[in-house]
Amino acid sequence: MNGRRLWAIVIKELRQLRRDRITLAMVIGIPVLQLVLFGYAINTNLRGLNAGIADQAHTAGSRALVMDMLATGVVSPVATVNTPQQLMTMLRRGEISVGIVIPADFERRRIDGRPVAQILVDGSDTAVQAAAAQLAQTPVDSALPDTRAPPTSTPRSGRISVVGFYNPQRRSAINIVPGLIGVILTMTMVLFTGIAIVRERERGNMELLIATPLTSAELMVGKVLPYIVIGLLQTTVILALGVWLFAVPIRGSVLDVYLATGLLILANLALGLLISTRAQSQFQAMQMTFFIFLPSILLSGFMFPFAGMPKAAQWIAEVLPLTHFLRLIRGVMLRGAGLWDLWGDVLALVAFIVVMMAAAIMRFRKRLD
Amino acid sequence: MSADEAIAIRARGLTRRFGELVAVDHVDLDVPARQVYGFLGPNGSGKSTTIRMLCGLLTPSAGEIEVLGLRIPAEADALRRRIGYMTQRFSLFEDLTVRENLEFLAAVQGVPKARSRSRIDELVGQYHFAEQRNQLAGTLSGGQKQRLALAGAVIHEPELLFLDEPTSAVDPESRRDFWEKLFDLADTGTTLLVSTHLMDEAERCHRLAILDRGALVADGSPRELTSALQGRTLVVDAIDPRRAQRVIVDLPGVLSVAQVGSSLRVLTTEPVTAAEAATDTRHRIDEALVAAGQQAATTATPANLEDVFVAVTRNPMKPEAHAA
Ligand SMILES: Nc1ncnc2c1ncn2[C@@H]1O[C@H](COP(=O)(O)OP(=O)(O)OP(=O)(O)O)[C@@H](O)[C@H]1O
Ligand SMILES: [Mg+2]
């Protein structure tokens, strides 16, 4: 790769972008518009949330209570640990969404009417909070193994307390804004590069470009680089608006936020380039962009909770960059996690970028036929 | 100088199909170095397709190509550094200025950084863009765009230039200027392959090839080509040229009749035995005109390239004359 030729492409793209008023307006206009439009989130019932269990009582009664909770199907156990602290760590890393804590004095609490168990919830997802509230309805008394009839007046609620972490006020904007960074970047980044190659083909520039010593890699990378800057600019607009309008917290490091966003931007640009090498016209490129965009919005966990989806949909979601980005950005912004806590999703994004970029470079032929 | 150096482009059996259509059909070419070589042919005859294959942009369906000693398309990457290609359609960036376009090409074509600025200034001067250097290329006139495209194609001083209908939008006055530049380039050792369908341009080329429906139907210097038509061109001066045209157009031995002002230019078919058949046809024409009561005088005239073009392309303008 020749640095001078690469730079020439970057400069050319920036100069063209500067004169393209509509695209420039889109860079700022789309984030602002979407932020306002997505004011509300949609919640649905969840099933199969990852749960960690810390049963410190180890009595027949406590085991029966846990069994009853699992029987609802809302949660499925992925880990059994000893202390609530361990649950907190797993929650922060995103390994579990719900933690069930049964204290050592479970039997005594049950008799004297104090809360007998605690459900720790990842409140950064409002849908999970709603599901936890449902779990808390598990009747404690029917789980009693002994014959003593419980007082019927015992209020069912209140016996299991729900503690939401990270978003105690259950404000949906807090969930929406980090997700929105991902959605907006998916839409605009794929579109920008999706039309990048086709446009030059349609305008006749491609015949000139491929007759020069430019290599495929120089052309592809040169087209991607300027849009990274654009993407980070958009991120800044959304973050600033989110913090200013909705008081969205950034609990992790800002650097991690930008690193995670940088990964998503690259993933989407690479995907856009691949689309661009396939599409015959700008219109086709837009159609293909939409084809990617819809599942991203619907399956990534942005609109509907990931855990609420059938297995097949979850598999599809795992190959969408937005899914991994949402886990990263929610982890960093709302739970204060570091990127290293969520290395699995970082790895997934990096793999996606490498594969897409390589495919785009290989697919692009310096030929007209 | 070895024979290989003297030939810049050599093609054998060059063929390109697009589905059923054979766009280029077994073309053999030898383009001498340091000359202006013309590519003449009607619309859709395969000029652009041939040029694209010669620069390695299109893969031939069959045939062999050697350009500047490189086998194409296998060694196309090495060739790209040594050629300039001016596309038929304007292919510079319309949303960049004249200067920005040239800067981009200088960088991409590997003009040394130190030389880049002076080379661009030089081109801006030579190609008369001093006042328009900051104008967007998209707002230039058609002829100006072609001038800019030529400047862009020569920025790295290539050994070989492919120009695909470079003057289609250039006015006659500027076209002379344009061709001066092409000959200047040939003088400095550049080989030029220029496609055109303008006869006056074809006339200027050192050598030319005529393509028709993908096939190479004639090649040689303009003089060679026209002298091959010796004795086959006649001028009929008639009082009523339209009626006279109707009288002679269907006569045996008449290949085409075209009205030029108040006279008719007649091209006769290839004679079986040289001068004899041509005079036969001339007699037939005179007799037919007399029989039709037309006052006219027939004289022989030297052939020009347009006659060559009509003679070798297989669609002479007879049907049109009929419709009139
Ligand atoms: N990519 C393509 N796909 C299908 N057919 C093509 C393609 N490119 C060219 N052709 C066909 O090949 C034939 C030759 O086209 P070409 O562009 O080489 O003609 P040309 O001599 O340059 O004509 P013009 O003077 O109009 O530029 C035409 O019939 C054209 O329709
Ligand atoms: Mg053409």
Tell whether the torsion through CA atoms of A279, A284, A288 and A289 is positive or negative: positive
- What's the sign of the alpha-carbon dihedral A187, A189, A192, A193? negative
Contact yes or no for B93 and A205 at CB 8 A: yes
B285 in contact with A, Cβ within 8 Å: no
User: Is the Cβ pair B85, A205 closer than 8 Å?
Assistant: no
CB within 8 Å: B77 and A205: no
Tell whether A12 is within 8 A of chain B (Cβ): yes
Q: At what angle do helices A311-318 and A282-299 cross, to 10 degrees?
A: 130
Both tokens of A313, joined, read 């949909």
**pLDDT one-digit tens code per residue, B286-313:** 888 888 888 888 888 888 888 888 888 8
Query: Has the ipTM of the complex gone over 0.90?
Result: no
Residues B213 and B253 in one domain: no
Tracing tokens 């880049």 back to the chain, one arrives at B116
Out of B58, B95, B105, closest to residue A368 by CB:
B58
Give CA–CA dist A274/A264, Å, rounded.
15
Residue identifier of the C-alpha nearest atom 29 of ligand 1: B44
Average pLDDT value over all residues in chain A? 82
A21 assigned to some structural domain: no
Q: How many CB atoms lie within 10 A of CB A159?
A: 21
Candidate ranges A67-71, A359-363, B67-71; pick with highest mean pLDDT: B67-71
pLDDT of B232-273, one tens digit each? 888 888 888 888 888 888 888 888 888 888 888 988 887 666
* A3 in reach of chain B (CB within 8 A): no
Q: Answer yes or no: is A369 within a domain.
A: no
Q: What are phi and psi of B110, to 5 degrees?
A: 75, 30
Phi, psi values for residue A79, rounded to 5°: -155, 145
Q: Assess whether A252 and A345 both reside in one domain.
A: yes
Residue A280 placed within a domain: yes
Distance B220 CA to ligand 1 centre (A): 24
Please identify, among A165, A189, A215, the residue that sits at the C-terminal boundary of a domain: A165
> Which residue among A165, A183, A206 closes a domain?
A165
Gap from A361 CA to chain B (nearest CA, Å)? 16
- Which residues, chain by chain, have CB under 5 Å from ion ligand 2? B 47-48, 88
pLDDT tier, A172 (very low <50, low <70, confident <90, very high otherwise):
low
pLDDT attached to residue A168: 52
Nearest CA in chain B to A7: B107
Q: Whose CA is nearest to atom 4 of ligand 1?
A: B18
Higher pLDDT among residues A118 and B319, named by residue: A118
pLDDT band at A167 (very low <50, low <70, confident <90, very high): low
Model pLDDT, residue A142: 47
Query: Under an 8 A CB cutoff, do B87 and A208 touch?
Result: yes
Q: Among A26-40, B59-73, B146-160, whose mean pLDDT is lowest?
A: A26-40
Tokens 């969408």, residue?
A: A320
Residue A280: domain span: 171-363
On whether both A159 and A230 belong to a single domain, the answer is no
- Say whether A342 sits in a helix, a strand or coil: helix
Query: Which ligand is closest in space to the CA of residue B39?
Result: 1
Asked if residue B146 has its Cβ within 6 Å of ligand 1, the reply is: no
Strand partners, A75: A49
φ, ψ dihedrals at B207, nearest 5°? -140, 160
Question: Out of B73, B94, B109, whose CB is closest to A212?
Answer: B109
B214 plus B242 within the same structural domain = no
Domain contains B256: yes
Say which DSSP state B136 is in.
B
Within this chain, do residues B99 and B235 fall inside the same structural domain, yes or no?
no
Is the beta carbon of B233 within 6 A of some atom in ligand 1?
no
B307 in a domain, yes or no? no
Amino acid present at B257: V
Instruction: Name the pLDDT band for A158 (thresholds 50, 70, 90).
Output: low
Between A154-163, A267-276, B90-99, B183-192, the lowest mean confidence (pLDDT) is in A154-163
Structural domains in chain B (count): 2
* Whether residue B222 is found in the same domain as residue B234: no
Residue whose CA is at the smallest distance from ligand 1 atom 8:
B49
User: Are residue B222 and residue B235 in the same domain, yes or no?
Assistant: no
Distance (Å, rounded) from C-alpha B144 to C-alpha B137?
Answer: 9
Residue B315 belongs to a domain: no
* Banded model confidence at residue B67, pLDDT cuts 50, 70, 90: very high
Q: Is B188 in the pocket of ligand 1 (CB under 6 A)?
A: no
Answer yes or no: do B52 and A8 touch at CB < 8 A.
no
pLDDT at A155: 39
- Tell me: the pLDDT tens digits for A314-345? 898 999 999 999 999 989 988 888 888 899 99
Phi, psi dihedral angles at B256 (to 5 degrees): -155, 155
What atom of ligand 1 comes closest to residue B197's alpha carbon? 25
Chain A residue closest in CA terms to B61: A369
Same domain? A95 vs A190: no
The predicted structure's pLDDT at residue A123: 73
Structure tokens at B298: 């027939």
What sign results for the dihedral spanned by CA atoms A170, A172, A178, A179?
positive
Q: Are A224 and A267 in contact (CB under 8 A)?
A: no
State which residues form the domain around B112.
Answer: 7-226
- pLDDT-derived band of residue A61, with 50, 70 and 90 as boundaries? confident
Residues in Cβ contact with A117 at an 8 Å cutoff, skipping those fewer than 6 apart: A65, A100, A101, A102, A103, A106, A140, A159, A160, A161
Taking CA atoms only, the protein residue closest to ligand 1 atom 19 is: B44
Instruction: Tell whether B190 and B297 lie within a shared domain.
Output: no
pLDDT at position B2 over 60:
no
Together in a domain, A236 and A176:
yes
Q: Assess whether pLDDT exceeds 60 at residue A169.
A: no
User: Whole-angstrom Cα distance, residue B166 to residue B194?
Assistant: 7
Check if B48 has its Cβ closer than 6 Å to any atom of ligand 1: yes
Residue A32 in any domain: the answer is no
Tokens of A22: 């509509």
**Environment class of B291 (CB within 10 Å of its CB; exposed 0-12, middle 13-18, buried 19+):** exposed
Please report the DSSP string for B66-100 in residue order: EETTEEETTTHHHHHTTEEEE-SS--S-TTSBHHH
Here the CATH number for the domain that contains residue B15 is 3.40.50.300
Task: Tell the residue number behind the tokens 């190479």, with chain if given.
Answer: B216
| Pocket flag, ligand 1, residue B51 (CB < 6 Å) | no
Report CA(B214)–ligand 2 centroid distance (Å). Answer: 12
Residue B85 sits at the chain A interface (C-beta within 8 Å):
yes
Q: In angstroms, what separates the C-alpha of B75 from chain A's closest C-alpha?
A: 12
Mind listing the pLDDT tens digit for each residue in B197-209?
888 889 999 999 9
- Contact criterion met (CB < 8 Å) for B107 and A208: no
| B73 cis-preceded (ω within 30 degrees of 0) | yes
**CA A57 – CA A104 distance, rounded (Å):** 4
Whether the CB of A33 is below 8 Å from some CB of chain B: the reply is no
pLDDT in tens, A79-127: 889 888 898 888 888 888 888 888 888 888 888 878 888 888 877 776 6
Q: Are residues B103 and B221 in the same domain?
A: yes
Asked if residue B169 and residue B296 are part of one domain, the reply reads: no
Q: Does B159 have pLDDT greater than 90?
A: yes
Task: Identify whether residues A154 and A219 lie together within a single domain.
Answer: no
Is there a domain that residue B198 lies in? Answer: yes
| CA dist list (Å): B190 to A355, B84, B131, B162 | 44, 10, 28, 11
A17 close contact with B: CB closer than 8 A: no
Q: Are B2 and B69 in contact (CB under 8 A)?
A: no
Q: Which of residues 173-212 of B touch A (CB under 8 A)?
A: none
DSSP structure class, residue A148 = P
- Residues A160, A203 within the same domain: no
- Same domain, yes or no: A155 and A184: no
Is B318 contained in some domain? no
pLDDT in tens, B25-43: 999 999 999 999 999 998 9
In angstroms, the Cα distances linking A177 to A41, A157, A251, A262, B181 are: 11, 32, 14, 17, 61
Same domain, B196 and B287: no
For residues B24 and B108, membership in a common domain is answered with yes
| Per-residue model confidence (pLDDT) at position B312 | 85
Q: Which among B48, B164, B193 is the best mutation to test ligand 1's pocket, defined by most ligand atoms within 8 Å of the CB?
A: B48
Query: Hey, is the C-beta of B21 within 8 angstroms of any chain A C-beta?
Result: no
Does A8 map to a domain? no
Does A241 share its domain with A300? yes
Query: Helix (H, G, I), strand (E, B), or coil: what is residue A97?
Result: coil
Whether residue A293 contacts residue A187, with contact meaning beta carbons closer than 8 Å, is answered with: yes
* Among A10, A24, A201, A212, the residue to mutate for chain B (most B Cβ within 10 A): A212
- What's the pLDDT at A165? 66
Residues 206-235 of A with CB under 8 A from B: 206-214
Number of structural domains (chain A) is 2
Nearest chain B residue (CA) to A21: B95
Contacts of A8 in chain B (CB under 8 A): 103-104, 107-108
Q: Check if B41 has its Cβ closer than 6 Å to any atom of ligand 1.
A: yes
Kindly tell me if the per-residue pLDDT of B1 is higher than 50.
no
Q: Which of residues 113-142 of B touch A (CB under 8 A)?
A: 113, 136
pLDDT confidence of residue A41: 45
pLDDT for A75 equals 82
Using the Cβ of B308 and the Cβ atoms of chain A, whether some distance falls under 8 Å is answered with no
Residues A124 and A197 both lie in one domain: no
Name the 3-class secondary structure at A232.
Answer: helix
Residue of A nearest to B103 (CA): A8
Write out the H or E segment, with its range, that includes residue B223: helix B222-227
- Distance from the Cα of A192 to chain B's closest Cα (Å) equals 17
Question: Does residue A133 belong to any structural domain of this protein?
Answer: yes
> What is residue A163's three-state secondary structure?
strand
Rounded Cα–Cα distance for residues B103 and B111 (Å): 10
Instruction: Flag whether pLDDT at A37 surpasses 50.
Output: yes
**Residues A238, A346 within the same domain:** yes
> Among A165, A185, A220, where does a domain finish?
A165
Query: Could you tell me if B103 and B130 are in contact, meaning their C-beta atoms sit under 8 angstroms apart?
Result: no
User: Do residue A137 and residue A265 come from a single domain?
Assistant: no
